[in-house]
Structure 1
Amino acid sequence: MMNEELKKQLRNRRICVVIPTYNNDKTIKAVVEKCLLYCHDVIVVTDGCTDRTTDILHAIDGITIVSYPQNRGKGYALKMGFRRALEMGFSYAITLDGDGQHYPEDIPLFLKANQQHPQSLIIGSRQLEGVDRSKGSSFANKFSNFWFYVQTGRALPDTQTGYRLYPLHRLHGLSLLTSRYEAELELLVFASWHGVKLVPIPVQVYYPPRNERVSHFRPGKDFARISVLNTVLCFLAVVYGLPLRLWRTLMTFLRTAYSLLFFLFFTLVVFTPFVWIYTKVGKMTERRRYRLHQLIYHASRFVMIHHGIPGTKYEYKVAEGIDFNKPRIIICNHQSHLDLMCQLVFTPKIVFLTNAWVWNNPFYGSLIRNAEYLPVREGLDEIMPHLRSLIERGYSIAVYPEGTRSKDCRIGRFHQGAFYMAREFGLEILPMILYGPGKILPKTGWHLHKGKFFVEVDKPLTQEELSAMGDLKQQASTMRKHYKEKYEEIANRIEQ
């Protein structure tokens, strides 16, 4: 990734770099200048420096400096850096030390981890094999890892690293934060108690020769203070952290159970019997079939917009001038079983192409079969006459070009089927870009997470515009690229 593109992506996701420093005049210039190669937005906190550090920083253009006269410790410096970052509109802060221990070259790793795990606290786990460290440093890290596991029930390989990416809007306990080294452990513990996902990633580390190292750690005094802090945190873990975790687990279970029971009740007790009676009593005319589509449409709007899925919010954006009554081929990225509900809120005149197991589903199979949703088994040719009939009756055909749900919400390879249908029927393609379902109900998950559904209905593409892209393969490739760009844009906006 070129550095300018990296800088752009960091700024789009509102990620800055925060460097707390105390008397690092020999290394701070190189550290800051290297960071500026990767990130436009660098905040340096001078923690009451008494050497040339502050003068050196003022000679560097393009950085933000936070200064105060008295040394207050790393915890206080981090707090001041986070406060300034929030004032400047940032949502995330990558922290690294000013002594040259951390490599700014690893900043792209934090961006990638943030894109894969938004709103998570990313921890740079130092690769310490073969590194010349003192026995005291090695013991301190193992000691810290052990107490973190006791206090949270989670294991991390490196709880003492200062190379991290913090989600600034999800930091907890800042007002209680101690002022020195142990503050970084507190931030991890409080984040874990409040359900913030902790994601370790491997990073490089540099330890200079022993005679060149600058350390402000005071073994006796600081170790005693850390021991007292761990005692307090163990007590809080019992009276606060554990109950909070149990409450969060209970609420997740209740949210999932309620949604499942709601779904089962309406499919088995309401819709399935109603559809069976509706289709058996009287002839299934075009008017009666359209009323069935209206039922699905209003039910979807009730579930997604009016009632809502517990713990979620549904929003959408529609390009100006879209007429949903005009037949088109609708394409959408595929993330979850919830995708159909997200799309059905726009119009009753829509028919989905599904796979066979959905079409034969015991819960809602009867409903979608009577609504003329069609399974794609061997190919499109056998259903093309039926599709033509639906289009002539005013229905749009909805297709998932990826063919299957994405495991990680990334846009997969687009197949050519949707573009083939659009060409054969002379229809526009209407893109819908979907965000959220794969995070709320992941492909491999069994419970509902909190989150936001967002659907963006893009402007339709005419056959002339599609033909200008090239053949069907090129159309599919071009549209996949467009989807990746739009999805990244939406994700950057929502994942703040």
Structure 2
Amino acid sequence: MSTPPASTTHLVLIPSYNPGLKVDETVRAARAQWNPVWVVVDGSTDGSVERLQGMAMNDPGLHVIALPTNRGKGGAVLAGIEAASASGFTHVLTMDSDGQHPAELIPRFMAASQAAPDAMVLGLPKFDASAPQIRVQGRRLSNLFADIETLWAGIGDSLYGFRVYPIEPLRTIMRQQPWMRRFDFDPEAAVRLCWAGVRPIQIEAPVRYFRAHEGGVSHFNYARDNLLLSWMHLRLVAGFGVRLPLLAARRVLGRETV
């Protein structure tokens, strides 16, 4: 397999929990677009860790971190960025292991990050007919809260996990916060990074939902995860109230310099 030249600053980070066979396709697609690719296997019990480790034995551009127990998406990302920082990397592109995110756009997102290393590059999802409408409509409320909490700083979609993060600001925030470890990771990371002055750049990207007969696996639980999001936004609204003067001043000064 031909492979892109290895980056010393940017890597693809794929948190993975019991994704089924889709993770194999996802990793191959990501490796065709970028080098290196790291997978954090988050306590999976579906045999994927053994398959991925077998792939990595024959591919120096693929690295597998196997966590002994499930820590949640945010916990897996934190484990990955801690290891990436220790290896000298400065940025990670996160993508889901279930094939929903467009690997072919990895180079474009990485190029945007390399051109603006102080920013985070956030995917703006374009849904097709495969997307469950209850989830498409439901995410609008989370997006509205994220806009309010950041004074419309430009997050776009708070829940879409196809993103490039600068490692050190994200690592600092996650070390300070006991939350951000499960389904609440993506929106809280975007909001808190905005609060820290990391500006968002939006790039449109498609998202595809696979049905069970197509190999799709979903761990989303409507009751549990919506409660988790509600608790997260309660925390963020409280934090927003404290930060409102600073956020307002930042917006005013930003407008004055345009």
CA-based RMSD of the aligned residues comes to 2.3
Distance 1:238 1:133 in 2: 34
1:216 aligns with 2:215: no
Contact between 1:106 and 1:204, CA under 8 Å: does it hold in 2?
no
| Residue 28 of structure 2, aligned match among 26, 33, 37 | 33
**Which residue of structure 1 aligns with residue 11 of structure 2?**
16
Residue 248 of structure 1 and its aligned partner are, at CA, apart by 4.9
Distance 1:55-1:210 versus aligned 2 partners, 3 A rule: closer
**Which residue of structure 1 aligns with residue 101 of structure 2?**
102
Distance 1:20 1:115 in 2: 22
3-state SS of paired residue (1:67) = strand
1:186 aligns with 2:188: yes
Residue 19 of structure 1 and its aligned partner are, at CA, apart by 0.2
**Which residue of structure 2 aligns with residue 75 of structure 1?**
74
Contact between 2:122 and 2:200, CA under 8 Å: does it hold in 1?
yes
Contact between 2:16 and 2:41, CA under 8 Å: does it hold in 1?
yes
Contact between 1:114 and 1:120, CA under 8 Å: does it hold in 2?
yes
| Residue identity matched to 2:193 | A
Distance 2:126 2:248 in 1: 34
3-state SS of paired residue (2:11) = strand
Contact between 2:93 and 2:110, CA under 8 Å: does it hold in 1?
no
Residue 99 of structure 1 and its aligned partner are, at CA, apart by 0.3
For 1:299-378, list aligned pairs within 5 A.
Answer: none
Distance 2:90 2:138 in 1: 31
For 1:374-413, list aligned pairs within 5 A.
Answer: none
Contact between 2:150 and 2:247, CA under 8 Å: does it hold in 1?
no
| Residue identity matched to 1:180 | R
For 1:209-288, list aligned pairs within 5 A.
Answer: 209=211, 211-212=213-214, 213-239=216-242, 241-246=243-248, 248=250
* Alpha-carbon displacement from aligned partner over 1:17-43 (angstroms, at most 9, x marks no partner): 100000113111111122112222111
Identity over aligned pairs, percent: 28
Which structure would you say has the larger Rg?
Answer: 1
Distance 2:257 2:126 in 1: 35
1:54 aligns with 2:52: no
Contact between 1:193 and 1:242, CA under 8 Å: does it hold in 2?
no
**Which residue of structure 2 aligns with residue 138 of structure 1?**
136
Q: Which runs of 5+ in 1 are unaligned?
A: 254-444, 449-496
Q: Which runs of 5+ in 2 are unaligned?
A: none
For 1:468-483, list aligned pairs within 5 A.
Answer: none
Residue 117 of structure 1 and its aligned partner are, at CA, apart by 2.5
Greater RCO (Cα-Cα under 8 Å, separation 6 or more): 2
* Alpha-carbon displacement from aligned partner over 1:349-372 (angstroms, at most 9, x marks no partner): xxxxxxxxxxxxxxxxxxxxxxxx
**Which residue of structure 1 aligns with residue 110 of structure 2?**
111
| Residue identity matched to 2:151 | G
Distance 1:132 1:104 in 2: 18
Distance 1:249-1:124 versus aligned 2 partners, 3 A rule: closer
* Alpha-carbon displacement from aligned partner over 1:368-389 (angstroms, at most 9, x marks no partner): xxxxxxxxxxxxxxxxxxxxxx
Question: TM-score if structure 1 supplies the norm length?
Answer: 0.47
| Residue identity matched to 2:146 | F
For 1:415-494, list aligned pairs within 5 A.
Answer: 447=257
Residue 157 of structure 1 and its aligned partner are, at CA, apart by 3.1
